[in-house]
């Protein structure tokens, strides 16, 4: 049985004052049936982890492939772990686009995360032009093959399918489209990793909100969500946690 995971990605949002939302979330859902993860900006990882005290998991949004060194502005997996993180989002489409991250770089970052004992939440997903060209599965398959490291296990890697055109737009794929891609990802993982691939959690991400969470969670091979905007408010994210 794959344990369901509700993950929030705060992106470049949140100041110390925003931690009141985490307090409210934990107070409203003290014993959630699913695993709950919040990934704040790096500046808040330490404070959020201290506040959460293990009641929810805390993660970073990126890490450098190297353990340390002359890389101004970057953060290593060891630093995230030291700050209290247990997870790190890697290869988000915003980083692939804003920072020209390649599959090979995402794979190297994932290896660094695993080496430090962090769970890597590896993101894949097609652009609208790629979907319109009928290339969705080819793109997702290529990203999976290139971004997921050979040593991935069900315990150390989570895959998030986030169609780029659904992120922050209020548009979501049809449930059939989500099922098609998630079933494809499952088959690819089982093909490469065998039984271990069957245990890897697959999250859907892109305009998940309280109103559509339950129907998305009922889709085949959807083991949870990676939530952006709706993870910033305890009431919205709490409703998604409850739906899962
Ligand atoms: P939204 O939920 O704001 O569409 O963002 C999704 C996302 O990119 C999560 O990583």
pLDDT digits (tens, 9 = 90+) for 90-99: 999 999 999 9
Probe ligand 1: pick from 13, 39, 92, 226, max atoms within 8 Å of CB? 226
8 Å CB contact between 140 and 103: no
Share of the chain above pLDDT 70, in %: 100
d(CA 109, CA 101): 10
Range 98-105 contact pairs with CB under 8 angstroms and sequence separation of 24 or more: 102/146, 103/142, 103/143, 103/145, 103/146, 103/147, 104/146, 105/65
For 22, other C-beta atoms within 10 Å of its C-beta total: 23
Q: What is the pTM of this model?
A: 0.98
8 Å CB contact between 112 and 118: no
Burial of residue 177 (CB within 10 Å: 0-12, 13-18, 19+) is middle
pLDDT confidence of residue 1:
82
Q: Whose CA is nearest to atom 7 of ligand 1?
A: 228
Q: Report how many domains make up the chain.
A: 1
d(CA 172, CA 207): 6
pLDDT in tens, 168-203: 999 999 999 999 999 999 999 999 999 999 999 999
Probe ligand 1: pick from 59, 61, 205, 208, max atoms within 8 Å of CB? 205
- SS3 for 236? helix
Atom of ligand 1 nearest to the CA of 169: 4
Average pLDDT over residues 15-22: 98
Whether 117 has a pLDDT exceeding 90, the answer reads yes
8 Å CB contact between 121 and 7: yes
8 Å CB contact between 186 and 202: yes
Please say if 182 is a catalytic residue: no
Whether 10 has a pLDDT exceeding 90, the answer reads yes
Say how many Å lie between the CA of residue 70 and the centre of ligand 1.
31
Reported as a pLDDT band with limits 50, 70 and 90, residue 221 is very high
Q: What is the CATH number of the domain that holds 47?
A: 3.20.20.70
* Distances 96 to 10, 44, 122, 201 between C-alpha atoms, Å: 17, 23, 12, 22
Chain mean position to CA 21:
20
pLDDT in tens, 45-93: 999 999 999 999 999 999 999 999 999 999 999 999 999 999 999 999 9
Please say if 111 is a catalytic residue: no
Average pLDDT over residues 154-181: 98
Q: Which domain holds residue 114?
A: 5-243
**Bridge partner list, 7:** 37, 226
pLDDT in tens, 122-150: 999 999 999 999 999 999 999 999 999 99
């Amino acid at each position: 049985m794959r344990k369901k995971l509700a993950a929030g990605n705060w992106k470049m949002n949140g100041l110390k004052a925003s931690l009141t939302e985490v307090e409210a979330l934990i107070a409203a859902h003290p014993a959630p049936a699913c695993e709950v993860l919040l990934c704040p900006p790096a500046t808040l990882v330490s404070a959020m982890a201290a506040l959460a005290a293990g009641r929810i998991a805390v993660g970073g949004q990126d890490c450098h492939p190297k353990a340390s060194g002359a890389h101004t502005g970057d953060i290593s997996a060891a630093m995230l772990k030291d700050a209290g993180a247990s997870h790190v989002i890697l290869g988000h489409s915003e980083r692939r686009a804003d920072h020209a991250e390649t599959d090979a770089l995402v794979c190297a970052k994932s290896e660094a995360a695993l080496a430090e004992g962090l769970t890597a939440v590896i993101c894949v997903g097609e652009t609208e032009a790629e979907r319109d060209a009928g290339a969705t599965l080819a793109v997702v398959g290529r990203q999976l093959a290139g971004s997921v490291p050979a040593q991935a296990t069900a315990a150390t890697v989570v895959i998030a399918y986030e169609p780029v055109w659904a992120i922050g737009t209020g548009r979501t794929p049809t449930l059939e489209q989500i099922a098609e891609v998630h079933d494809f990802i499952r088959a690819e993982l089982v093909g490469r990793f065998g039984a271990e691939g069957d245990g890897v959690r697959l999250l859907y991400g892109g305009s998940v909100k309280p109103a559509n969470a339950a129907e998305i969670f009922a889709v085949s091979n959807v083991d949870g969500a990676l939530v952006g905007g709706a993870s910033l408010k305890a009431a919205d994210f709490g409703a998604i946690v409850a739906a899962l």
